[in-house]
Every structure is written in C-alpha cells, then in structure tokens.
C-alpha cells in the first residue's frame, strides 16, 4: 500500500534526476575525501596509502578515525620549527658564549672556564689581552705569539 502511494512520485523524471545527481555527488565527494586524506597523510609523514584505503572502504567513519589519529603537524612545519629552534640557540650562543666542554656560561675575555678549567683562550705575551687559541698574531698590539 505504501509502495503504491510512492510509486508515482518515484517515477517522476525530476525525482529520478535528483536521485542520480545525489549519487553522483556522493561518489565525487567520496573520491575527493580519499584524495584529500591521502595528500594530507603524505604531508604529515603518515602512511598515505593505508589511510587512503581506510577512507575508501569506510568513507566518513574512516576519515573521522584518521582525523583523530593523524600527526599534529606536517613535516614542513616540524622542519621549520626545528630550524627556528636552532636559529634561536645560535643567537643565544652569540650573545652569551658558553664553554665548549661543560656548556656553562663564560665571558668573552675568560682565559679558562671557571667551572671545568678548560682552556678557552690564551694571553698575549705583550699586552696580556685574551686571544683565540689559533691566533698567531695579537690583533691589538701586532705581536707574534
């Protein structure tokens, strides 16, 4: 009885067209979701083929699972963060020198590290200023070392 009531509506060409368009939209949406998941997983260093297959088989529930367990940042973002950390460390190293042996802070004119006694610089034989260990001439008084 219910089928008899709906049959004229379902046989209408506009209803059939809208049904086909909905199915076409669903297929295109599913393929786009698989493609997006595959690309996103590839950028984040996850197993892109696996997550693409999961979304292909399970559609939106598979995509939701991927969104929950995906890595929080892309590989490019991670690399940029690491480079920024290194740049900040190098900048701090330039401002506040540290001992190469114990990494404790030292001043520019220290000859030895006060913590570990590592020789940092040598003293000029003429003027007594602190020189780098590999310098052969004092840049302050022009004396050969």
> Per-residue pLDDT tens for 68-124?
999 999 999 999 999 999 999 888 777 788 888 998 889 888 999 999 999 999 999
pLDDT at 1 over 80: no
* Integer Rg of the chain from CA: 35
pLDDT at 29 over 80: yes
- The pLDDT tens digits for 48-73 are 999 999 999 999 999 999 999 999 99
Contact 104, 97 (CB under 8 A): no
| Separation CA 69–CA 43 (nearest Å) | 15
Look at 5 and 36; give whichever has higher pLDDT: 36
Look at 19 and 105; give whichever has higher pLDDT: 19
| pLDDT at res. 91 | 84
Q: Where are the alpha helices (DSSP H) in the chain?
A: 2-10, 13-43, 48-69, 75-95
Output the pTM of the full model: 0.58
| Separation CA 49–CA 53 (nearest Å) | 6
| Separation CA 128–CA 141 (nearest Å) | 10
| pLDDT at res. 109 | 84
Contact 143, 127 (CB under 8 A): yes
């Amino acid at each position: 009885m219910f089928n008899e009531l709906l049959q004229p509506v379902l046989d209408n060409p506009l209803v059939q067209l809208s049904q086909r368009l909905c199915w076409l939209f669903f297929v295109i949406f599913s393929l786009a979701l698989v493609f997006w998941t595959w690309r996103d997983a590839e950028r984040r260093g996850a197993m892109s083929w696996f997550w693409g297959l999961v979304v292909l088989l399970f559609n939106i529930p598979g995509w939701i699972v991927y969104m929950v367990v995906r890595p929080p940042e892309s590989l490019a973002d991670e690399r940029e963060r690491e480079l920024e950390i290194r740049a900040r460390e190098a900048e701090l190293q330039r401002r506040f020198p540290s001992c190469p042996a114990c990494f404790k802070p030292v001043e520019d004119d220290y000859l030895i590290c006060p913590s570990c006694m590592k020789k940092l610089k040598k003293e000029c034989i003429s003027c007594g200023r602190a020189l780098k260990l590999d310098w052969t001439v004092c840049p302050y008084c022009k004396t050969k070392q």
